[in-house]
Amino acid sequence: MRTKNIYNPKKLILLVFIGMISLSGCKKFLDINQNPNNPNTVDPNLLLPTAQIAISQVVGNSLQVYGGMWSQFWTQGPSANQYKPIDLYAPANTDSDRPWANLYSKALINSQLIIENKGSNLEFLKGMAYLTKAYSFQIATDAFGDIPLGEALHADNVKPKYAAQELVYDSIFNYIDKGVALLSVTGSNNPGAQDLFFQGDVAKWKAFANTLKLKAYLRLSKVNPAKASAGIAAVYATGTPFLTQDVSIKYTSVGGNDNPLYNEIVALGRAQNLVASSTVVNQFVANGDQRRFKFFVLRSGQTEITSIPQGSYNANAGKLVSLPAGLVGANPSTSSNAALAPVKLFSSSESYFLQAEAAARGWASGNVTTLFTKGITESFTATGITDATVISNYLATAKDGPLALAAAVTPEAKVKAIITQKYYAMCGFQGFEAWTEYRRTGYPDFLVVSVAPPTGTTTKPQRMVYPNSEAIYNGNFPGNVDIFTPVWWAK
Amino acid sequence: MKKLILSLFVFLSIAAAALAQDRTITGTVTGKDDGQPIPGVSVKLRGAQGGAQTGADGKYAIKVTAGATGLDFSSIGYVTQYVALKAGNVISVSLAGDSKSLGEVVVTANSIKREKRTLGYSAPTIKTAELTEGGNPSAITSLTGKVAGVNITSTSNTPGSSSRIVLRGGSSISGNNQALIVVDGVPIDNSTTVGGASDLASVDFGNRGNDLAPDDIASVTVLKGPAAAALFGSRASNGALIITTKSGSKGAAKTDITLTTSNTFSSVLKLPEFQNEYGQGYYTGDDVGKPLLVNGVYQYTNDPRENGSWGGPFTGVVQPWGQAIDGVRQQKAYSAVKDNVKDFFKTGFATDNNLSFSGGGDKSTFYLGLNALNSDGPYPGKSDTFNKYGVRFNGTADFSNKFSAGVSFNYVNINSNNVGGGQGNSSVLNNVYQTPRDISLTGLSDLTNKYNGYGYVDGSGRRHDGEYGYYGAYTQNPYWILKNFVNNDNVSRVTGNFNISYKPNSWLDVKERVGIDTYSDRRRLLSPKYSFIPGDDGASGFYTAGDLRSFQGGYEIDQANVTELVHDLMVTARHKFNEDFEGSLMLGNNIRQRSTNFNNTATNTAGGLVVADFYNLSNSNGPVNILLDQMSKRRLFGLYADLNLSYKNFLFLEATGRNDWSSTLPVKNNSFFYPSVSTSFVFSELLKGSSVANWLTYGKVRGSWAQVGNDTDPYQLTTDYRRGLISGGFGTTILPFGNVPGFMINPTLGNPDLKPEKTSSFELGTELGFFDNRFSVDFSYYKNNSKNQIIAVPIAASSGYSFGLVNAGEIQNKGVELSLRGTPVKTTNFSLEMYGTFTKNKSMVVSLMPGVDQISLGGYSGMSIVAAVGKPYGEFYGLTNQTDDQGRTVINASSGLPVRTASAQYLGSYNPDYQASFGTTFKYKQLSLAVLFDTKQGGKFYSRTKNILGFAGSSAITGGERMNQIWPNSVYIVNGQSVVNNSVTYNKQDYYTNSANVFPGVDIVDASYVKFRSASLSYVFTKDQLKRTPFGSLAVGLYGNNLFIWTAKENKYADPEINSSGAGNAQGFDFTAQPSVRNYGINLKVSF
């Protein structure tokens, strides 16, 4: 049956021909790799809110918990487990992965991409990005000590070297100066509503820059007082006012736009992980401080804030302990309005306490008592206490109030009174900053060692552990540092 | 078995059309040994042109032309028989089996049928009978233990659950490692997407490879190495399963109607071991939190809200428990409910019905299969149901003008409800396991009972909508969860292909095939909105309004649409150079397109639902949350060639080459070529006539070398921007923020210079048959290296990015595979066949990227599963107890509790050291019994079941004396020296209930097991027995699968095969995963 098939060669030629057409059409056929889901470029104004939200997430959630517990406003609740390693002084390296990544690959990189943008009339935006970057780097170094700085934030360098904390601080001052200079350029476009901190108010940004610089120089008070005093003198010399308002993002009850700590608590099934620590509650009681009923909530049937000693969750199983109030975001109940709680990147009372300290140390002008008292009244106002008699009663009678400042003779004693008051004002609002100032000054002096760590532990944490991700992936990781080792400015 | 291969072979060997004829001869061809009809027997005229084939019923009809003197009946596997033509028009013959030939035909890449002897690589084939004998509704799981070199992990073994199939170890660091599944020449999608609200609350929605009905399958060929699968191109670098579905046969005398019905019962295979000494509560603490001793007796608090069994020893005394509702608390004896968890589960039931029609005319065949599988799993109620309906049509037709065509179509619809796992709100098991040992679970089943429910009616008929009567303040009633949390899945899928063949002459063959696989997978996740305070009126002394149970509720829709189109054009030319030497060359073109569309939308994360019990996105309390909106399209264009040469039917050589152009790679690198070469040498042909041939019936050695290139996922080349989203760990801040939009740079760096991945493989093997093939051996050694892997390596976040896409890394897999098969006894009525497999695969991550030692593949609760340099692929990595140089546990000298390691440690791999199976088939007359055992030895798994049972004080290890325990074999360190601990004690409650003490490494458990994988007993009625019935054939059987398990001693927790991440790469995680079940049932197969 082998008949010769005359169609065959033609058929083969046809096939080869089809094949060649296919090949030449191939390029177009395969040119479909443009991502329809995400853009490859965006307006830099769109990056600013992300950077601001990211720093607020770090300060308001993860660092708020560490700071809130290590400054002993809060302790681990007996009916839950989430933060036991913090009270145990045994945080895992992996626990630092998230805040570190949110700082570097969210807050800082998006600020950096704004700064590097080639567009025109972006000076204001870039100024804000520089200041966000400065603030973020300070948070990072205060938490971890030496950190990647100059070699950081470059896509082509996956093992950035670590910079000494002293150098980080120098850079922070430099970034602030650059930011202020850019904010002074005329003719720049204003990001307006894209700026979640000040809605484009350049004057407020300058006050932010000034207050940030004051805070940063004061951080050097122990390690390098000469530099601190000179720097502060220069800050005052500019004549720019300091912040008279909180710096915070206005959260709403919309899921994903709510207070980040509350949002976390919701996602954790509203477990009662954070409860009142006796360290701060006992002092509030001793001072007759009405703010305690604002920072914490009474349990049903109780008339006083119930607290447990720091780290004593095991000994208090089943005990009804007061929870932080919705005001500070750490309350699990929907009705507490915790969703709306602000994350304070700066508070107005903090601004006054910083100025009071600069004056008390003799590094700046200003009436210490006035500034100190203003700090206290701002704090009362921030908790919603507007009754003048409650405030004046506190000012007149509280042992740690103006009485303490009046009794103080040395600058150190004045600083003690100021930082102790600042500590009260920061209860639940600014846990990380309170803990950081404790590390710098040793005040307040009534903090205890958590009872959770192994018997014999006598020291308190001085830094956060480096993230596991750096230890594993950064070839220039300098090695873990014990959490009880002070950072450079606390030495 | 042979018969089924033959029915596939039917239209390959069809001869040219017959010419004019005088008469028609008909008859039936049966097997001499069993009397059963043989399909696909070639019937050829001797002395004239013309031929026919037998149908599925063994019948044939042939038109006899002038000059014909007789008929030759030939069929692979049978001795050819000649019958001279006589006067009658009926010739029926019975063929004797030919054990020597082993001329098995297997279906290889691109649906090309080849004689097994010609293959230079291992390609074992499983037939329908073996596949369905264990009654498992998953075709993939049914392969377990049947083939060497195949690692199948079957998770819960319920209908619709995931099963993962990996051939010769995982070769891809972060990509898919499963074998490509090819049905009738067309690759089908085998995605797996674990559902659930978060990683911690997984719901196994199965993998799409399990959509096939096993009863529609004629055979599965396992192409284990890249050499075998080279023609499929990049996607087959992990090997392939070549599935051929059933077809009808030409010239069938009648339509074969077959009905198969299987009714399966299922029960939980392995539950944890519990302690039965202590009940609800905890020890009473003294001032510093240590256990309170009064007169030398420890004091306990019988807190009725508790989920922990840390209370006092059982007394048997009747005492009140739970809440006081209407002023009254319930009473029960304080004693263990030993079978509590076991009794919670019921016996599941599944019914699987298959009806098929097959047959054909002179020039056409058809097969129509209808399947319905309805299952209700072992959880109480109807919360775990799986309903699958399928229809398949396969047909072929020959046209007179040398064209023939075929069409294959399969529609599947699945509707299932799945129970949540993990530790989320919807996890039933998490609440079952945290029920104190003295509280009866089944006693909680009546949700209308005021002591059990949420929102109840009290004794006076008053409603308490916002109050609960359930005892637990930290857990929920599992029956209530089953009723209120719903994870529904609806899959609608069409797969199929049509093909046209043109055979202009005897040496040329042109085949065009277009296939499609398209499905919609729609999941609906319902979480109730509730807020309940305890109904207790204070009499119990424990419950307060703070014991609030509330949840904002939620509704999520996950919609996936996936469509794959495949085109293949193959032109094959054959030539016989001389008597000894012949060859064929195939040139082909392959075009592939895959489009996906995922859209996951949920109600507002924080706000949840507005109105309870109303599940619609319009009921979102706040803006709807768009979790995922992603579409993708990828294309691939390939040209390939396949050259086959054979010499004297004992020496064979095959070479293939393929060049692919992929849309996903950068233009400069998007073209890549990869070759393969393989050879087979049937040396027994040379020994014919020698004395060796007396015992060595068949002998073949084979070898192959191959490369396969692989592209990547779409859109990996650039670094894009995306909507701002900042995760705090559990919570997330999402932009836009109010009205302010925000974007961020993608933390994963794209790479514009990506190159294709390359897998090289080398394989040597032999097939030997002894004593008329009564005993046979198949052995392979292989080594695969996958290089230039495209992986998202984690990079230091201080660079500003978290991942970078690179071409780096190499994984090596080497191993041996051994299959043995023997028939020690074989008489007319009785036969005994035994077979076994042994597989040892050693995988190793050779390198990743300079400076990167490991990459995480996934993980939970501080335990990661990683690819680490120098370790097997899939290694556990986490903190664990510190040990000294003698392996003793280091404890803290004051607390008595273990000290953790300074950093995470490598804790073993999920891959077994080796796996093996043993099966036997025993036949006596019409009765046959088949059993199969299999084992995996040496792997590890992480058990959250162990963790949570320890936490709750329920597991066996928390029993015994609890106070003042010395940690076994422990030391403490003094000045760097180990001091044996004889004095420092701890109590178990302090250890187990504090998550900071129980390091993840202690929950790594030996995953070794031996399973009684399957058994079947069947009886086939003879023709005589069926004489007065309408049935053509009738068989009844009992079967079972996953019947028993024997695990390592330390595994008191779970079947090591269960898995929380379905068929993904993060294997070995029992994150309170669904328990596996044993299935057993009865089936009936009848044909008309």
B1062-1077 pLDDT tens trace: 767 778 888 888 899 9
H/E element holding B343?
helix B340-344
| C-beta separation of A328 from A296 below 8 A | no
Closest residue by Cα to residue B111 from B187, B20, B22: B187
Please list every residue in chain A whose beta carbon sits closer than 8 Å to the beta carbon of residue B747.
101, 105-106
Question: Is A265 part of the contact surface with chain B (CB cutoff 8 Å)?
Answer: yes
Of B739, B747, B851, the CB nearest to A105: B747
Per the listing, tokens 């936490």 go with B951
pLDDT(A243) > 80: yes
pLDDT(A416) > 60: yes
Question: A46, A156, A273: best mutation site toward chain B, by most B Cβ within 10 Å?
Answer: A46
Output the 3-class SS for B984-1035.
Answer: CCECHHHHHCCCCCCCHHHHEEECCEEEEEEEEEEEECCCCCCCCCCCCEEE
Put simply, the answer to whether A50 touches B726 (Cβ < 8 Å) is yes
Q: So what's the pLDDT on residue B693?
A: 87
- Give pTM, 2 decimals: 0.84
Q: Which two tokens stand for residue B979?
A: 């001091």
Question: Is A481 part of the contact surface with chain B (CB cutoff 8 Å)?
Answer: no
Q: Which amino acid is at B36?
A: Q
Per the listing, tokens 């736009």 go with A257
Residue B621: closest CA among chain A residues belongs to which residue? A254
| C-beta separation of B72 from B44 below 8 A | yes
- Per DSSP, the three-state class of B491 is strand
Residues in chain A: 491
Q: What is the pLDDT of residues B285-310, one digit of tens each?
A: 887 778 999 999 999 999 999 999 99
User: CA-to-CA distance for B144 and B132, rounded, in angstroms?
Assistant: 12
| C-beta separation of A446 from A471 below 8 A | no
pLDDT(A44) > 90: yes
Question: Is A316 part of the contact surface with chain B (CB cutoff 8 Å)?
Answer: yes
Q: What is the pLDDT of residues B781-837, one digit of tens each?
A: 999 998 988 888 888 999 999 998 888 889 999 999 999 999 999 898 999 999 999
B80 CA to chain A: closest CA distance, Å? 24
Of B506, B730, B745, the CB nearest to A2: B506
pLDDT(A3) > 50: no
Q: What is the pLDDT of residues B658-691, one digit of tens each?
A: 999 999 999 999 999 999 999 999 999 898 888 8
For A:20-79, CB contacts with B below 8 A are: 22, 26-27, 29-42, 46-50, 53-54, 56-57, 61-62, 79
pLDDT(A375) > 80: yes
User: CA-to-CA distance for A49 and A194, rounded, in angstroms?
Assistant: 6
Question: Is A350 part of the contact surface with chain B (CB cutoff 8 Å)?
Answer: no
Please list every residue in chain A whose beta carbon sits closer than 8 Å to the beta carbon of residue B724.
49-50, 53
Q: So what's the pLDDT on residue A128?
A: 98
pLDDT(B13) > 70: no
Q: Which has the minimum average pLDDT: A458-467, B165-174, B1077-1086?
A: B165-174
Closest residue by Cα to residue A230 from A110, A358, A143: A358
A423 CA to chain B: closest CA distance, Å? 25
Q: Span A91-119, mean pLDDT?
A: 95
User: CA-to-CA distance for A170 and A488, rounded, in angstroms?
Assistant: 13
Q: So what's the pLDDT on residue A77?
A: 93
| DSSP 8-state assignment for residue B774 | T
pLDDT(B58) > 60: yes
For helices A348-360 and A368-382, what crossing angle results, to 10°?
160
- Burial of B1028 (C-beta count, 10 Å sphere; 0-12/13-18/19+): exposed
Q: So what's the pLDDT on residue A4?
A: 43
Q: So what's the pLDDT on residue A18?
A: 59
User: CA-to-CA distance for B646 and B681, rounded, in angstroms?
Assistant: 10
pLDDT(B11) > 50: no
Q: So what's the pLDDT on residue B957?
A: 95
Put simply, the answer to whether B607 touches A84 (Cβ < 8 Å) is no
pLDDT(A167) > 50: yes
Q: pLDDT category, A210, cuts 50, 70, 90?
A: very high
Mean pLDDT rounded to a whole number for chain A = 92
Give backbone dihedrals phi and psi of A162, rounded to 5 degrees, phi first. -90, 140
Question: A12, A257, A335, A458: best mutation site toward chain B, by most B Cβ within 10 Å?
Answer: A257
- Burial of B320 (C-beta count, 10 Å sphere; 0-12/13-18/19+): middle
- pLDDT: is B860 or B989 the higher one? B989
- Per DSSP, the three-state class of B132 is helix
Q: Span B459-467, mean pLDDT?
A: 90
Q: pLDDT category, B3, cuts 50, 70, 90?
A: very low
- Per DSSP, the three-state class of B875 is strand
Q: So what's the pLDDT on residue B191?
A: 77
Q: Span B945-972, mean pLDDT?
A: 95
Q: So what's the pLDDT on residue B495?
A: 94
pLDDT(B1060) > 50: yes
| DSSP 8-state assignment for residue B100 | T
Strand partners, A65: none
Q: pLDDT category, A7, cuts 50, 70, 90?
A: very low
| C-beta separation of B877 from B845 below 8 A | no
pLDDT(B965) > 60: yes
Q: So what's the pLDDT on residue B809?
A: 86
Q: So what's the pLDDT on residue B277?
A: 97
- What residue spans define the domains of chain A? 11-255+348-473
Output the 3-class SS for chain A.
Answer: CCCCCCCHHHHHHHHHHHHHHHHHHHHHHHCCCCCCCCCCCCCHHHHHHHHHHHHHHHHHHHHHHHHHHHCCCEEECCCCCCCHHHHCCCCCHHHHHHHHHHHHHHHHHHHHHHHCCCCCCCHHHHHHHHHHHHHHHHHHHHHHCCEECCCCCCCCCCCCCEECHHHHHHHHHHHHHHHHHHHCCCCCCCCHHHCCCCCCCHHHHHHHHHHHHHHHHHCCCCCCHHHHHHHHHHHHHCCCCCCCCCEEECCCCCCCCCCHHHHHHHHCCCCCCEEEEHHHHHHHHHCCCCCHHHHEECCCCCCCCCCECCCCCHHHCCCCCCEECHHHCCCCCHHHCHHHCCEEEECHHHHHHHHHHHHHCCCCCCCHHHHHHHHHHHHHHHCCCCCHHHHHHHHHHCCCCHHHHHHCCCHHHHHHHHHHHHHHHCCCCCHHHHHHHHHHHCCCCCCCCCCCCCCCCCCCCCCCCCCHHHHHHCCCCCCCCCCCCCCHHHC
Closest residue by Cα to residue B855 from B875, B879, B885: B875
Mean pLDDT rounded to a whole number for chain B = 88
- pLDDT: is A49 or B729 the higher one? A49
Q: pLDDT category, B19, cuts 50, 70, 90?
A: very low
Residue B288: closest CA among chain A residues belongs to which residue? A315
Q: Span B122-139, mean pLDDT?
A: 83
Q: pLDDT category, B98, cuts 50, 70, 90?
A: low
Q: So what's the pLDDT on residue B187?
A: 87
Closest residue by Cα to residue A376 from A335, A315, A409, A417: A417
Could you give the angle at the alpha carbon of B861 between the alpha carbons of B851 and B863, nearest 5°? 40
Of A54, A94, A155, the CB nearest to B801: A155
Q: So what's the pLDDT on residue A468?
A: 86
Put simply, the answer to whether B740 touches A94 (Cβ < 8 Å) is no
| Most trustworthy range by pLDDT among B72-76, B403-407, B575-579, B785-789 | B403-407
Residues 6+ apart with CB under 8 A from B802: A101, A105, A469, B747, B748, B794, B795
Put simply, the answer to whether A101 touches B802 (Cβ < 8 Å) is yes
Put simply, the answer to whether B589 touches A19 (Cβ < 8 Å) is yes
With a pLDDT cut of 70, the percent of chain B lying above it is 96
pLDDT(B883) > 90: yes
- Per DSSP, the three-state class of B340 is helix
Closest residue by Cα to residue B902 from A482, A170, A463: A482
Put simply, the answer to whether A53 touches B996 (Cβ < 8 Å) is no
Could you give the angle at the alpha carbon of A6 between the alpha carbons of A4 and A9, nearest 5°? 110
Q: Respond yes or no on whether ipTM tops 0.85.
A: yes
Biggest CA–CA distance in chain B, Å, is 113
User: CA-to-CA distance for B830 and B708, rounded, in angstroms?
Assistant: 47
- pLDDT: is A79 or B1020 the higher one? B1020
Of A194, A256, A265, the CB nearest to B740: A194
Q: How many CB pairs under 8 A join A and B?
A: 316
Put simply, the answer to whether B604 touches A256 (Cβ < 8 Å) is yes
Q: So what's the pLDDT on residue B22?
A: 64
For β-strands B93-95 and B23-31, DSSP reports them as parallel
Q: Span A457-485, mean pLDDT?
A: 92
Q: So what's the pLDDT on residue B971?
A: 96
| C-beta separation of B56 from B28 below 8 A | no
Q: So what's the pLDDT on residue B338?
A: 95
pLDDT(B14) > 70: no
| DSSP 8-state assignment for residue B168 | S
Of A93, A112, A477, the CB nearest to B800: A112
The CATH code of domain A11-255+348-473 reads: 1.25.40.390
Question: B290, B749, B798: best mutation site toward chain A, by most A Cβ within 10 Å?
Answer: B798
Closest residue by Cα to residue A83 from A272, A319, A318: A272
Residue B879: closest CA among chain A residues belongs to which residue? A92
